[in-house]
Structure 1
């Protein structure tokens, strides 16, 4: 969905990464967890911090700061995991996104959202749905379905699918 596709007021969950404010459509957010114990998985990309047990399901945890080229998220009292649903090639994948802190849920009108800036041709900013303005502050609105490529998500979620298939056999 592009900014032009936003025609009504939408609720966004705002969160902080390295002192910058980001937002996700609340429809994509399943829940927010205090930072539980994350089990490391060998031979995974650097931005994959590991997996958590969410009521019996294995959920991969991604460090969004690392994915966006920032410093690794350090665990504090405010660090949390935002559990999101991502649609990839018609399939729903549950993923945990590590954030420095969750701020609030806000309503943004379509006129409060501007298109993402184009930063040359080599940088991919397709995952930025737009720039929202709230209380005189810019908020980067993420299209969480486009933050990771299908191949990256296959690497992250593929082991879980294989593990589930092996357990079922």
Structure 2
């Protein structure tokens, strides 16, 4: 009888250890066009209410302008427009998520840390995701390039699209800015 109890104790301890070993990552979830998206919380510097930025001429439509954030000039990108979602008027729930990104090109391993603001319809919650539970992203038919998506996770019975913010900026926003610069030159 003692051997059987010891075996059960060892199995329950192994189960507990397996739970502890799960790699959890926290994501800040936000809403765009009625859908939930998420950024790695470690990339989020702050969340600000909507305040009209200073407009910069000859930039892509989704670049709303720049904000002066405690002496730092921060570009502001409207994710709704970047993802080609229907436009809406900004209201009291519209926020700017200020994030840290790593900017660099594929040919070089050098990256620079930058700060950028992302306009979203509203912020939802912060939740833990088991890295092993993240599912691969399907093809979004061009609405959101699946290159920008880490994967899909479930939070409180809702699917959340997890965004790779570095890839989004380096291969979406920065590529468009470079193209725009060449066109204007």
What is the TM-score with the length of structure 1 in the denominator?
0.81
Question: Aligned with 1:41: secondary structure?
Answer: coil
Name the structure 2 match of 1:117: 138
Name the structure 2 match of 1:12: 27
Q: Aligned Cα RMSD in Å?
A: 2.3
Equivalent pair of 1:73/1:98 in contact (CA under 8 Å): no
Runs of 5+ unmatched residues, structure 1: 1-6, 160-169
Shift of 1:107: 0.6
**Greater share of helix:** 2
Matched, 1:75 2:96: no
The whole-number CA distance in structure 1 between the counterparts of 2:127 and 2:116 is 22
Matched, 1:105 2:136: no
Q: Would the alpha carbon gap of residues 17 and 119 (structure 1) be closer, same or farther in structure 2, given more than 3 Å must change?
A: closer
Shift of 1:118: 3.6
Question: Aligned with 1:148: secondary structure?
Answer: helix
Question: Aligned with 2:81: secondary structure?
Answer: helix
Shift of 1:150: 5.3
- Note the alpha carbon deviations across 1:99-138, whole angstroms, 9 max, x for none: 10001111111243101114579x8411100000112210
Q: How does 1:10-89 map to 2 (within 5 A)?
A: 10-89=25-104
Shift of 1:57: 1.2
Q: Would the alpha carbon gap of residues 126 and 103 (structure 1) be closer, same or farther in structure 2, given more than 3 Å must change?
A: same
Runs of 5+ unmatched residues, structure 2: 1-21, 105-110
Structure possessing the higher radius of gyration over alpha carbons: 2
Task: Count the aligned residue pairs.
Answer: 150
- Note the alpha carbon deviations across 1:59-90, whole angstroms, 9 max, x for none: 11000011101123421111100001111211
Name the structure 1 match of 2:153: 132
The whole-number CA distance in structure 2 between the counterparts of 1:136 and 1:104 is 13
Shift of 1:35: 1.1
